[in-house]
Amino acid sequence: MVVQADQKINPGQLYKSITQFDGIVGRCSKSSCTTCTFRFLRSVRLTLEPLTTIYRAANCFISINNTTMVNKHLTVKTPHGLHFRAAAKILRISREQQCSILLEKKNGETASAESLLEMLTLCAISGTKLKVTAEGRNGCRALAMIEEVFENGAGI
């Protein structure tokens, strides 16, 4: 099913589409768990929550019960790549905006923004393309702030 930008759709239609779709990010049922964040299907989470009006915008924005999920492909443009200071800033953004953020390389390697070590082990050098997914109430704002970090390099 293809949805146009800002098109209002029936929540049941989206639910049927998502349940037939593998790999959409989700969250572990244990609130303290960070290792299995984004390993479950989104469809499992949708079966546990009542669906409200759902919108999809041009930048892959989905709103479900006042939470948003935003995906964007970003390129690391700083000469030092994704270094410790930039990773720490992404972690701070994740906590301040109360979002779950996932960084994913083309080869499928993923890192949660809740772990500095995971972000550093991505070895994202200058020019690396990453898919950044932010989920939470301020997902759009968090993604814009992360894009700025990728552009400016967190002060280096």
User: Sorting pLDDT into bands at 50, 70 and 90, what band is 92?
Assistant: very high
Q: Are strands 110-112 and 100-105 parallel, antiparallel or unpaired?
A: antiparallel
| Contact of 139 with 99, CB cutoff 8 Å | yes
Q: pTM to 2 decimals?
A: 0.58
Find where tokens 């969250």 sit: 27
Q: What is the pLDDT of residue 115?
A: 92
The tens digit of pLDDT for each residue in 54-70 reads 333 334 444 445 566 78
In the chain, what is the straight-line distance between the N-terminal and C-terminal CA atoms, in Å?
44
- CATH topology for the 7-155 domain: Histidine-containing Protein; Chain: A; (3.30.1340)
Query: Can you give the residue ranges of every domain in the chain?
Result: 7-155
The tens digit of pLDDT for each residue in 119-143 reads 999 989 988 999 999 888 888 888 8
Q: Which H or E element spans position 62?
A: strand 62-64
